[in-house]
Structure 1
Amino acid sequence: MTNNADRGTASPLDPLNWGTKTVMLTGGIAVSLTLGPLFPVLPKIDAALAHNPGDHLLVKLLVTVVGVTMVIGAPLGGLLTDRLGARKVLLCSCLLLTLAGTAGLYLDSLPALIASRLFVGAAGSAIAATTMTLINSRFDGHDRAKWMGAHVSLAALSGLILQPVSGLLGEFGWRWPFALYFLGLPLAAVALFGLGNERPAHRLAGSAPSAQSLLTWFPTRFAVLAVCIGSVTYIPTVYLPFLMRQAGVSSPFLISLVGFADSTVAAIMSMLYGKVHRIVSSHAAFAFSFFCTGTAMLITAIVPGVVGVVVGMTVFGLGMGWFVPNLMTAAAKQVTLDQQGRTVGLVKGSHYLAAPLCTIVVEPLSRQFGPESAMLAGGALSFCVLAVFGYQIVLRRRVQSVVITEPETPSLRWS
C-alpha cells in the first residue's frame, strides 16, 4: 500500500484534529454499548418477560441478535465511509444508536425489543467500522497497530465501566440499563462539531473508486477467522450470567463484577498490542490468544463455583485483548487505501455474524447439559483454531529453513 500513511503519519490534506483523534479512539465504545448493558440483567429480563420455553431463547438473543444486523451495518458503514466520508456516516449512526437503544425504557414485548436491537446492531457496527477505517486509512505499520490497540483498549475500558454501572442500574429494575444508550449523543456531537470534513478514501488516494470484483481482492480467510473469533468471544457474554446464577449468584451487580476481571485484563493486553506487534508475528499472536481462551473456557466449565468462573474469565481476557487489533491490523496489510473501509466492514461483519450463530448452535447443548457445555464448546473451537495456527507456524518455519530464497507460500499468509 502506497500512501502518505506509510510513514505512520496523517495525510497532509487532512490533519488530525482533536475531533478526528477522539472519534478514532472512542468509536469502539459503540460496540460496548451494543453488547454490554443488557449482560447483567438477562436473568431479570428472563424472569419478567419469558412466559414460555421459546421466550427463554429470545431473552438470550437480546444480546446476540444484534449480530444479525451488525453483519449488514459493518460492511455498509465501511462502504459508505469509502464513498461518502466518515462524518455523515458517524452522525446518522450515532443518532440511530441512541433512538433504538433507549427503546427498552418503554417496550414490554420481547419481539419488539428484538426488533429494536436489530437497529442497535446496525448502528453500533457502522460506527465501529467507520472509526477503524479512519485508523487503517491514516496509519500504517507499527503506528497503525498502536492506534488500533488503543482503540480496542478504550472499548474494553468502556465495557469495564459500563458493566458495573449497568449492574447497579439493574438493581432498580431491568429497564434502567437501556438509559445508557443516551451516551450515543456525545459521540454524535463530536462527529458533528469536531470531526474534519473527512473525504472519501479514493479521493485521498488520488484515484477513482476501485472497480475490481470483491472476490479478486478481498482476503476471505480473514472473514472465516473473524467468525471463529466472534464465536469464542460471544459465548461467555451470553452464558456467563447463567453460570453465575447456577452458582447461586443472581445479583446483576455481582454478575457484572465477574465480567470486570476479563475486561480489565483485555484492556491492558490491547494497549500493549502496539509494542508487542514489533516483536511477535500475527500468527504467534493468534495462537497465544486462542490458547488462552480455550484454557479459560475449560477452567470455567470444569472448576465449580464462582472461583472457577472468576479465574477462567481472567485468563480469557489475556487472549481476548489481542483478537480484534491483531485481526484488523493483519487484514489491513492485504488491501489498498480505497479498499480499507470495505475490508474493515466485511471482516467486522463476519465477526458479528458469529454472535447469533453461536447462540443458536450451542443453546441446545446448554438446555440439555447446562451452561457449562456451551463453555466447553467454545473451548473446543479455540483449541481447533489453535491447532491450525500451530501447524501453519511450524510449516512456515520449515519452508523458510529449507528454501530461504523462495518467496513465502501465498496460502500461508495471514499478515
Structure 2
Amino acid sequence: MYVQNNRRDAAPAPREASFFQALILLSTVICGTLAPTVIGPVLPAMQRHFASVPGIETLVPVVVTMPMLILGALAMAIGAVSDRVGRKRVLVSALVLYAVAGTAPLYLDSIYAILASRALVGLAEAAVMTVSTSFIGDYFSGTQRDRYASLQITVASTSAFIFNLMGGALGAYGWRVPFVAYALPLLLAPLVQIFIWDTRSASGTPAAGSQVAAGEPVFNPLLLTLICAIAFAVGLVFMVVPVHLSFMLVDLGTRSTGEIGLAYALNSVGIIAGTLAFGWFLASRLAVVQQFAIGTLVCGSGFLIMGAAHDFTLLTLGAAINGVGCGVVLPALVSWGLRSLPFARRGFGTGAFTATQFIGYFCSPLLVMPLVGHWGSRFAVIEGWGIGLLLIAALAFAGSLRSRRLKLS
C-alpha cells in the first residue's frame, strides 16, 4: 500500500551520491565484523589465561557477544534519535567511541572489566550499524539500494576475511594483541565528517540527498515485527560459526592460531560469495521467500557437513558453505527491511531489525551451550541445527510453490 507525500513533507530533488561516499558508508560496517573475527581465533587462549575465574567457559564467548546484547537493547532508540537530530553527528561520535572502548582489553586484566568495555563497544556499534544502514536507504533506492545492501555485507565479509587472518597472525603474539585492530574506525571518523552529508535538515525534514519517493510505503508495524522475528532467527544461526568454530577445531587437534584464522577466513570467503550472488542474481529474480529458502538450505547443508567432520579440511569446508548461505540471508534481510520503511521511520525501523538480529547474536551461545551439555558435543548440536534448517527451507520452498500455483490458477 502506498501513499503520496504531502507538500509539507516533500524533499528537495535527491542529491547524487558518489561511489566514494558510498564506500565510506560501506566501510563503517567493519565495526560489526571485528568482534567475531579478529578475536575469534584467540578465544581458547583467553579462556586459558582466565582459567581460574568461575564460569569462564561461558564468560569468554560473551566477550564476543556482549556488544551484540547492548546493540540489541539500544539500536532502536539510537535509530529513532538519528531520525530526529540527524545521522552524521551520531555516526562520527560512535566511530570514535568504538575505537577507544574496543582497544581497552589491551591493558585491562580483569575479565569483568573487559566485559564492561565490551558493553561500551556495543553502544558504539549500535549507532554505527543502525545509522550507516539508514544512510544507504536515504541515499539510494530500488535496485541500486538492493545492491548496496548486498555490498554492505560484501565489504563486511571481505574485512572479516582480512581480520580473521590478522587475528590468527597477531594471536601468535598473545591474546591481547588482536584488539589493536579496534583502532581502525579512527581513520573513518574524519572521512565521514568531511565527505558525508546529512539527510535530515535542522528543521527535521528530509534534506537534499534523501531518497524520498512520491510513492513511499506506509509504515506497517506488523510487517516490521515479522522482519524483526526473522532477524532474530538469522542472528541465532549466523553467530554459531564465529563463536564455536575455533573450539571445534581445537577438539579435532588444531592448535595453531594461524590455521584457526584461515578457517575463519574461508568462512568469510563463503559469505562474500553469497552476498555477490544475492546482489547480482537473486535480488532481481526471486521473491523474498525464495531468497530466504535458498540461503537457509545452504546454511543447513554447511552445518550438516560441520557436524559430521572429523578433520580440519571437512570442518572448514562446512564452515565455508555455511558462510555462502549466510551471505544470501543477511542482505536479503537488510534489503527487505529498507524497502519496507518510509523515510520518516527509517532510522527507527532499521534500528528495530538490527537490534533483534544482534539480540539473536547474543543469545546464540547461550542457547547452544546448554544443548552441548545435553547432547555431549558441539558437533552433535550443529548437525541438529543443520537438519532443522533443511526442514525450514523445505517448508519455505513448498509455501513458495503453493503461492505461485494459486496466482496462476
Query: Does the pair score TM above 0.5?
Result: yes
1:223·1:346 contact (CA, 8 Å) conserved in 2?
Answer: yes
State the 1:250 CA deviation.
Answer: 1.6
Size of the alignment, in residue pairs? Answer: 392
For residues 99-131 of structure 1, give each alpha carbon's deviation from its aligned partner in whole angstroms, at most 9, with x where no partner exists: 110010011111111111111122123211111
Q: What SS does the aligned partner of 2:160 have? A: helix
The equivalent of 1:273 in structure 2 is 278
Q: What SS does the aligned partner of 1:304 have? A: coil
The equivalent of 2:68 in structure 1 is 67
Counterpart CA distance in 2 for 1:117 and 1:61 is 9
The one of 231, 235, 248 aligned to 1:226: 231
Counterpart CA distance in 1 for 2:35 and 2:53 is 26
State the 1:203 CA deviation.
Answer: 2.4
The equivalent of 1:151 in structure 2 is 152
Q: Does 1:29 align with 2:30?
A: yes
Q: Does 1:162 align with 2:167?
A: no
State the 1:322 CA deviation.
Answer: 1.4
State the 1:196 CA deviation.
Answer: 1.8
Q: What SS does the aligned partner of 1:328 have? A: helix
Counterpart CA distance in 1 for 2:26 and 2:58 is 34
Counterpart CA distance in 1 for 2:272 and 2:104 is 29
For residues 324-347 of structure 1, give each alpha carbon's deviation from its aligned partner in whole angstroms, at most 9, with x where no partner exists: 211111122222121221111111
2:254·2:260 contact (CA, 8 Å) conserved in 1?
Answer: yes
The equivalent of 2:215 in structure 1 is none
Amino acid paired to 2:280: K
For residues 283-327 of structure 1, give each alpha carbon's deviation from its aligned partner in whole angstroms, at most 9, with x where no partner exists: 111111100111101110112111221110121122111122111
The one of 395, 400, 403 aligned to 1:396: 403
Cα separation, partners in 2 of 1:361 and 1:189, compared to 1, 3 Å: same
Q: Does 1:282 align with 2:283?
A: no
The aligned runs of 1:137-286 (5 Å cut-off) are 137-199=138-200, 202-204=205-207, 216=221, 219-276=224-281, 277-286=283-292
Long gaps (5+) in structure 1: 5-9, 208-212, 403-415
Counterpart CA distance in 1 for 2:156 and 2:142 is 21
Q: What SS does the aligned partner of 2:33 have? A: helix
For residues 256-283 of structure 1, give each alpha carbon's deviation from its aligned partner in whole angstroms, at most 9, with x where no partner exists: 1001112112113213322211112221
For residues 336-361 of structure 1, give each alpha carbon's deviation from its aligned partner in whole angstroms, at most 9, with x where no partner exists: 12122111111111110012212111
Amino acid paired to 1:312: G
Counterpart CA distance in 2 for 1:334 and 1:155 is 23
Counterpart CA distance in 1 for 2:83 and 2:69 is 22
Counterpart CA distance in 1 for 2:172 and 2:112 is 24
Counterpart CA distance in 2 for 1:206 and 1:255 is 43
2:219·2:340 contact (CA, 8 Å) conserved in 1?
Answer: no
Counterpart CA distance in 2 for 1:272 and 1:234 is 21
State the 1:184 CA deviation.
Answer: 1.4
Q: What SS does the aligned partner of 1:203 have? A: coil
Q: What SS does the aligned partner of 1:172 have? A: coil
The one of 353, 365, 368 aligned to 1:362: 368
Moved more, 237-246 or 310-319: 310-319
Long gaps (5+) in structure 2: 6-10, 213-217
The one of 334, 346, 351 aligned to 1:340: 346
1:73·1:123 contact (CA, 8 Å) conserved in 2?
Answer: no
Structure 1 stretches (4+) deviating beyond 3 angstroms? 1-4, 10-15, 17-20, 204-207, 213-218
Amino acid paired to 1:297: F
Amino acid paired to 1:394: L
Moved more, 261-270 or 155-164: 261-270
What's the % identity of the aligned pairs?
Answer: 24
State the 1:18 CA deviation.
Answer: 6.6
